[in-house]
Structure 1
Amino acid sequence: MPIMRTINKGRVPVKIYTDDIDSGACEQLANIARLPFIHSHIAAMPDVHRGIGATVGSVIPTRGAIVPAAVGVDIGCGMNAVRLSLSGTELPDSLKKTREAIEEAVPVGFNMHKSVKARRSTLTPLDAGLEKILQLHPTVGKMIKNIGRTWSQQIGTLGGGNHFIELCLDENDDVWVMLHSGSRGIGNVIGRYFINLAKQDMRRLQQNLPDKDLAYFTEGTEYFDDYVHAVQWGQDYAMANRREMMRLTLDALKGVLPYFVITKEAINCHHNYVSIEQHFGEHVYLTRKGAISARDGELGIIPGSMGAKSFIVKGKGNADSFHSCSHGAGRTMSRTVAKRTFNTDDLREQTKGVECRKDAAVVDEIPGAYKDIDQVMANQSDLIDIVHTLKQVVCVKG
């Protein structure tokens, strides 16, 4: 579908690819549009919903400035998916051991590996980049316990919240492995540190903001280059984390599934990140907060909730969306409201046929707390084509 709604309350318009958006998210988008360095317009994807400062599902082009809260604290969060040479008929009748094998191989929640699992070729460039960050901003190292041990032993770990590892079947009954995670504890502290630093800058410069969480760094100021380096490091770390997690997951599956090889890697993509791109005649810092790149012909991954469908998609290079599309279904209620609304009986009902945890600790991730993924996909038919439709049969949550 084309753009369904436009907000004209700021310096630039906000173009929205859905009419399912609440007033809080609309106000956040209008606030972003009031910032003096927004280029052209802001695009809001069909999964758009209220975030902290910046709206989840927003694509924000800026000239000469970056808003750290728009990138967020899970820097580089994103998806990875591979197709295996297995069909659904080759899977065991019970997938409990499959789930347990993944959970044994990949620490979840706040847990990390007992020793470093990543290869030295992965660790060395990350180590050098982090050392530069800590030399310039030693406070970052004090914000996380045992930072040297933590960052290296959390590579290849899942985290919590909406992060997951799934075994899925596509429309041809082919088996896929799909996972979702980001930059873990180290990305979180880098994000929080620079968000607070930007707020201090705004107070010192006496900048009036429509929302204090929209504090920003501009090119040429004291911390701009440091943030650009730090956020790129966080994005590289997140990419490495997903690669290592996929490797560990596939190794674990080799012990419980019939012989397989990888037949196709869909993509390893960010959906919380900033990059330098050209749009509407200018090079801009493009922040995708809950959105993925969807250039013409580019493959991407759009997951649904833990009981719904997910999709491998191909971008159409839509200019108005800044070559972007949604990063998922998008929440319709907060985690707190979800826990008040649903119980474990509801979770078991809504995740029938999926081998997953069905306890109170993951009720906030129940499918009923998310938008209808089919409607989300219909609303972005101008942005992407569907290549594969996936249905999960195993879901590992933190």
Structure 2
Amino acid sequence: MGKKLSGKDLIKLGFPKNNSINVTLGHINRYHKRIKKEQILTEAKKVLLNPENYKGDGVWGKVAESLLSPVEVKRHALKTTRSPFAIYGENEIDDQAKYQLYDALKLPVAVAGALMPDAHTGYGLPIGGVLATQDAVIPYGVGVDIGCRMCLTIYPIPVSFLKGKKHQLENILAEHTKFGMYETHKIKHDHEVFERGEFTTIPFVKRLKDKAYKQLGTSGGGNHFVEFGEVTITDVDNAWDLPVGSYIGLLSHSGSRGLGANIAKHYTYLATKQCPLPKHVQQLAWLDINTHDGQEYWLAMNLAGDYAKACHDDIHRRIGKLLGSRPVAKIENHHNFAWKQEVNGEECIVHRKGATPAAKGELGIIPGSMTAPGFIVRGLGNEASLQSASHGAGRVLSRRKCKETLTRSEVKKELKAHEVTLIGGGIDEAPMAYKDIHKVMANQQELVEVLGTFTPKIVRMDT
């Protein structure tokens, strides 16, 4: 018997001469490289004899599926007509973003779609794109930064602290927030998210746990931030019984770090292998939610979303402790995720890639830019938008365009005019890179109602 397991070994064992052999070899190569051949064959024999006992098993589930009901790999053609859709603020959205949505609406699994007023071109689905599908989850419809989200904590601290204690607040952000690929906190905190079963039962996710532990409470690069600012509550009928007026707020924007990025990459690869599509829409490849890989991605995606929340919890806990104040309100929401939701009376999977959930009564935060206010909102449950709203102002200049056309002195001048202090931050995140948030909000009055605003004053980003 040779040392390396081959297809012939599996055929001798009794495996049928079909794709189950390729699936099993691929699986062994990925997860059982260091296990002795005899032991692998013993395990494989058990799965072969009783595959139904291994359905959903993290280690052997995919092999069991290939024996019971193999995933059919077939090239899909696009439909000739688009599923129903709605576009908000159409005149402010570039054509390429619209075409990306139109392509997504022609997928055989597409049920309905919407484009938010902050929309711009992305990979697969446009940023600001919302897509409902039947029994299918699209990893690139969720995005690379799974569970990218907003979190706002409101403190009963006088707004005068933003000027009077400016240096202390700057130091808190400079010393107690971590950004980018390599910065981590010296003192690590634990979190109940690490007790989750998915870190044990899904072999691919298990490998990512150590890195996730190290990165807890940190933020990514790009447009991720932690900032102090002025919260103004304008609606008497708010969810926290807060008097109308001004408070200090801490707002953070980031996602699931390396954990989410690796999950997105891995399952996108599996989707493209299982779901060949015309080249220009290949990034919209989906996983059937009823298959092993579809179920596994769903579990991994939800874990990444909960981990992203844990990161925000850690950031706000650390900073709240330094402020020495108890929060009076906390508002948070994902804007890169997929949810099971009823659409036209049927359960669908609704992907929001850069879109805020806005079911009736649901609370959320829609940020502007470093020099423009963000908005605390309550959803109106608009069915045409698939109960969604924008996730921010949206870019009007690409990162490359910012670097080509803007100067640091222009950015400094803009920040100074709005009395904003910036720690870190590249020219590609200049306030001028973003659409006018007031126009964006005007284009979605039928999607959300405004309860208050958040105006940034001390902003911390990746250096």
Larger of the two Rg values belongs to structure: 2
Corresponding letter in the other structure for 1:85: P
Q: Counterpart of 1:262?
A: 327
Match in the other structure for 2:66: none
Q: Does residue 1:345 correspond to 2:415, yes or no? A: no
User: What is the aligned length?
Assistant: 369
Q: Report the alpha carbon displacement of residue 210 of structure 1 after superposing the two structures with TM.
A: 4.8
Residue 187 of structure 1, CA deviation: 0.8
2:421 aligned with 1:355, yes or no? yes
Matched ranges for 1:79-158 at <5 A: 79-93=150-164, 95-115=166-186, 117-125=188-196, 128-133=197-202, 135=203, 137=204, 141=207, 147-158=208-219
Q: Which runs of 5+ in 2 are unaligned?
A: 1-78, 233-244
The two structures, once aligned, show a CA RMSD in angstroms of 1.9
Deviation at 1:221, TM superposition (A): 3.4
Secondary structure of the 2:182 match is coil
SS at match of 1:74: coil
Q: CA deviation at 1:224?
A: 1.1
Give the structure 2 partner of residue 4 of structure 1. Answer: none
Contact 1:44/1:58 (8 A) holds in 2: yes
Residue 208 of structure 1 deviates from its aligned partner by 3.9
Q: Distance in 2 between matches of 1:161 and 1:252?
A: 26
Counterparts of 1:379 and 1:282, CA distance in 2: 28
Are 1:116 and 1:152, in contact at CA under 8 Å, matched by a contact in 2? no
**Identity %, equivalent residues:** 34
User: Could you list the per-position Cα deviations for residues 64-111 of structure 1 after superposition, in whole angstroms to 9, with x for gaps in the alignment?
Assistant: 111111101100000111110112123343624312212311211123
Q: Counterpart of 2:102 in 1: which secondary structure?
A: helix
Could you tell me how far 1:214 is from its partner in structure 2? Answer: 0.8
Equivalent in 307, 321, 325 of residue 251 of structure 1:
321
- Contact 2:145–2:260 (CA<8 Å) still a contact in 1? yes
The answer (yes or no) to whether the contact 1:96–1:355 under 8 Å persists in 2 is no
TM-score (normalised: structure 1): 0.88
CA contact (8 A) 1:95 1:355 kept: no
2:100 to 25, 28, 35: 28
Q: Which of 258, 261, 266 is the equivalent residue of 1:193?
A: 266
CA displacement at 1:14 relative to structure 2: 2.9
C-alpha change, 1:86 and 1:34, in structure 2 (3 Å) is: same
1:162-192 Cα distance to aligned partner (Å, 9 max, x none):
1111111133331111111100011111111
8 Å CA contact retained: 2:87, 2:116: yes
- What secondary structure, in the 3-state scheme, does the structure 2 residue paired with 1:382 have? coil
What SS class does the counterpart of residue 426 from structure 2 fall into? helix
Structure 1 residue ranges without an equivalent (≥5): 1-7, 142-146, 255-259
Task: Report the 3-state secondary structure (helix = DSSP H, G, I; strand = E; otherwise coil) of the residue aligned with 2:157.
Answer: strand
Which SS does the other structure have where 2:83 is aligned? coil
Q: Aligned partner of 1:390: which letter?
A: F
The aligned runs of 1:49-64 (5 Å cut-off) are: 49-64=120-135
Instruction: Trace 1:162-241 onto structure 2 (pairs within 5 A).
Output: 162-171=223-232, 172-203=245-276, 207-208=277-278, 210-241=280-311
8 Å contact from structure 2 (residues 162, 457) kept in 1: no
Quote the residue 1:144 is aligned against.
none
93 and 9 in structure 1: CA distance in 2 versus 1, 3 angstrom threshold: farther
Rate the CA distance shift 1:61–1:245 in 2: closer, same or farther, 3 A: same
Report the CA distance shift for 1:129/1:115 in structure 2 as closer, same or farther (over 3 A).
Answer: farther
- The question of whether the paired residues in 2 share the 8 Å contact of 1:105 and 1:252 is answered with no
Deviation at 1:130, TM superposition (A): 2.2
TM-score by length of structure 2 reads: 0.76
DSSP 3-state at the match of 1:325: strand
Q: How many angstroms does 1:332 deviate by? A: 0.9
DSSP 3-state at the match of 2:110: coil
If asked which structure has higher relative contact order (CA below 8 Å, sep 6+), I would say 1
